[in-house]
Structure 1
């Protein structure tokens, strides 16, 4: 029995739709395979917020190819890059969808680096402003205001410093690298720390000498002994697991109490 022409056309259209859908899904999977980590994601957010308008290019915040880049106006983005867009497309995964370029997450990071190197001042000023604010938090702590009906939460300087080291500092270092400034090496940090410790030692020694020349001699002696006794040395920084003490090895701690009088 011959098939009606209308039915043949309908089957062919469905077949074309399936092929187009499969190609689209393969493109998304190809882009999604080039993921970036949380530090790179945060750095990209900062760069695009400060340097790239959302009507030129926008980062995907969820769904397929999270952290990929949607390039809406190619010539405008090329001006921000300082180079033709084609030079960048040769090295990254991308595809075109409805007249818009969709770049992989690593392509999004490459664009952020190129834009930052072309115009680094806003990013470096942002990092400086954030670190000035965070330095105050790491010295004095911070109070987090909560919504109505909930008590404000206070964070200690130690907690703020730990949060800075774990979450914020890597982002700031990466932002500097994206702008063309290399990160500070571990050796440079060590040299700077030793020089700073030496400077503070001399400053404290001068302060103790001044106290000794006044009526604060006892306090000066106590301050000097405390400074020497609690120095942070390598063998104190290194965590060395010790064996548990036996019951007879545990020192006895005498706690003075008031004597009860009575017959």
Structure 2
């Protein structure tokens, strides 16, 4: 499993795709946080990163599918898929290794954004006037959100050998998982099903963690969500095998 994880991670790091994708993510998030008038923290006037954590999920809907789209799709396109699944490791280990490699890249993309926290902390009056607990909770929420989106991306990549199709399917599923249940709940608002349907979506649980409250129900939700899509990925691979 470690060999597959290392191979996958170094495969990403040896190509320009990972650097371009992460670079675009950092560039866009930086512009939105510091320069665009409607979202700039400097114009907002408060020492907090709530705007940043509200914007990143939408960037993740495109960043993570771009990272995961090649996981299985490229293996099938290059003809190494059959060689991979005949190695003396289980399918679950293969799926987990690829998932962890993609998740590591998502983590790498988040680490540089800690500069934003340091900068705003220094700019606050008085210096350090920022809710660190809420920031830490929001980063935990972002990581869990990234883990859920990564599981979706791995699943989409296993469905096809075309990376563009894998990207489109993954982005659509991520968008629905994050926002679809909230919009769907409005249809049933008068039937008292609104709360139940909203709780099935990612957004409600992400917002809960972003407030700095680590509820075990939210943690169980994200873990279960990721495991579900990894299990579906395994089923897809078994079917193609």
Q: What TM-score, normalized to structure 2?
A: 0.23
Q: What TM-score, normalized to structure 1?
A: 0.21
* Greater length-normalized contact order (CA 8 Å, ≥ 6 residues apart): 2
Larger Rg: 1
Q: Which structure's residues are more often strand, by fraction?
A: 1
